[in-house]
Amino acid sequence: MAKPKLALIPAAQGSKFYSVLPSDGVGDFQFSRLSSGTRIAPTGLIETVPTATSRLDYDLLNGKVVNCPHYILEPARTNVFNYSDDATNWSTSNSSVLATSNQVISPDGTLNADKLIPASGNVQSNGGRYRSFNSTAGTNYSVSVFVKQGEYRYVTFAYGSSSSIGFHFDLQDGVIIQELTNNQYASLGNKVELIGNGWYRLTVSLTDSTSVNGRFIGVRPANARPTSTNNNYSTIGDGVSGIYVYGLQLEVGSYATSYIPTDTSQKSRIAETADFSGNAATFNDSEGVLMLETSALANDGTSKRVSISDGTYSNRIVFDFSSATNTINGFVISQGANVYSPSEVVNDITQPNKFAIKYKQNDFSFFINGFKFDVDTNGNIPSGLNSLQFTEGDGSASPFYGKTREVQYFDSALTDAQLETLTSWTSLQEMITSQLYTNY
């Protein structure tokens, strides 16, 4: 197969997204994030990355690191809750659940996770540790927390009061026992991630239909399997037994992003960008192939794009993770005209997929995961291509937020056999771990 003219294979953190080709650094992406951020390090632990430093993030499968790292790009988010790692500063219902500090190693590898302990006797309904905030009607929220089994194996994580949205969770078997629903909230999905060392990250995403001063987000340990259809049940505590907690987060958005630790005040992670890779000598206006191995952060109805362009909308080659459900679009724009626009639905745009689009005068094709999905033998080619960007093509619109494992650009049109090879998994094991299949 021909050698790519530009190749991004994530291997180093720093002030850029570093491309291995071309070797002179022309292919490096300019990177920006005007705040710190966190990542999953190769140890499987949460690690803070300094301001303006790109993040090599690692996948976790069944609590263990798998695969090579990816570069991650995320939107701006704020953790509204201060004292995210200090449950002693969270509120408690009727003083029914005690919190003791620094009882076990947390997901960041230090002794800073707390223990929630139901008090002796019959803990009344809705007993737990919680935080509150003033919600706004029609707003999307995502709340998340890290939890680990102690002497007790059950926990309820809920948004609301006795009429809650969220779920009962079994920390021993790692399964949701029951989802809680209420017509005050439109569910955007519950999520469970096994982080490692027995820790789970629980996430509840929703749209709140009403504005409430003092909307609750609660974590409630239980010594017996909850059977209620809401957060209204009693627990018999002994004043010693409980569960472990770490990292409570509330952010405005339809999905949760990487953890943002807070202390005495709320903290923000600024939006990230990666743009302006290559130059006019890198890209061939006459023919070429753009290939990606990426996954979007969410299938949330927004357009997320990666493109080669002339710096405008007039001449572009675009991958679009679409506003339509699990849809990937391709676009070739020549002199302002859309000359090629394939579109396909994949199983899940939040899992890694391999895409390639070939362009040449009257010769276009579109490949996904080793299969040719579309071809067109009529159309002109763009001109003036000079930059590869994780945006629409003008350096700002429709930024791509997701995880990137690979970008390759070829300055010649590859054959179908080469494109099939380029976008195929090299083995069954690569496909299993890349797609993060949990049952195998």
Q: What is the pLDDT of residue 239?
A: 92
- The model's confidence at residue 438, banded by pLDDT at 50, 70 and 90, is low
What confidence tens digit (pLDDT) does each residue in 384-422 have? 999 999 999 877 789 999 999 999 999 999 999 999 999
CA distances from 398 to 118, 309, 328, 331, 395 (A): 47, 14, 14, 14, 9
Residue-range domain boundaries for the chain: 6-75+272-434, 79-269
Percentage of the chain modeled with pLDDT above 90: 82
What confidence tens digit (pLDDT) does each residue in 272-300 have? 999 999 999 999 999 999 999 999 999 88
Span 142-166, average pLDDT: 93
Q: What is the pLDDT of residue 86?
A: 97
Rounded-to-integer distance, Cα 122 and Cα 350, Å: 43
Q: What is the pLDDT of residue 433?
A: 58
Span 372-383, average pLDDT: 97
Residue of 149 and 124 predicted with greater confidence: 149
Q: What is the pLDDT of residue 373?
A: 96
Same fold: 6-75+272-434 with 79-269:
yes
Span 29-38, average pLDDT: 97
Q: Has domain 79-269 been given CATH number 3.40.50?
A: no
Rounded-to-integer distance, Cα 181 and Cα 314, Å: 47
Which among 324, 189, 201, 184 has a CA at the least distance from the CA of 254? 189
Rg (CA), the chain: 24
pLDDT at 426 over 80: no
Percentage of the chain modeled with pLDDT above 70: 95
Fold of 6-75+272-434: Jelly Rolls (2.60.120)
CA distances from 413 to 6, 288, 331, 354, 410 (A): 14, 5, 16, 17, 7
pLDDT at 439 over 60: no
- DSSP 8-class letter at 295: E
Q: What is the pLDDT of residue 431?
A: 57
